Amino acid sequence: MMRLLSVIGHIIRELSAVIMAVFIGIFFFSGWEIEFATQEEAIFYSFMAAIFLFAYLWLQSGGIALTGVPNSLAMATDAIFSIIPLIPLLFAFFEYAGGDLQMSYFQFYFGIAMLVALLFDVVVNLTLMIRLSRRYLGESGLE
């Protein structure tokens, strides 16, 4: 049962990374002009954005904590999948810096918050992958 739970957790973590990448692509490249009419509307959508980021981080890091990782190969695929959402986000920032993409203030600052969250996820996954590799390969396997 625990093995099945670990496999399901692994699949959920990989799918959440792909869903996050699709969301980032839609959020930045769909042509939305996100401007808020009222301060309450801006606060509401800011909280919704924060909840979305926390949910992603919980699925990634919390999933590892709750279901564990069966081996270093599974952790390596988690680390690779955690890099996938960074690709459209960095592309959006490069397009914005080059003047080819228009962003509202909300998109820009939410993009920065996403960048911080995604880099946190990458660092956690790479750290766990290195620690698992040492456990499976031994200390001399990394020299």
Q: What is the mean pLDDT of each run of 10 residues along the chain (143 residues)?
A: 76 89 90 75 84 88 76 80 94 95 88 93 85 63 47
Give the pLDDT of residue 85: 94
If you write DSSP's letter for every residue of 12-28 in order, what string do you get? HHHHHHHHHHHHHHHHH
Q: Rounded to whole angstroms, how far apart are CA atoms 93 and 99?
A: 10
Give the pLDDT of residue 114: 93
Q: How far lies 115's CA from each of 17, 47, 68, 108, in Å?
A: 13, 17, 25, 11
Q: Rounded to whole angstroms, how far apart are CA atoms 3 and 69?
A: 9
Give the pLDDT of residue 138: 58
Give the pLDDT of residue 64: 79
Helix axes 105-137, 39-57, angle to 10 degrees: 10
Give the pLDDT of residue 127: 85
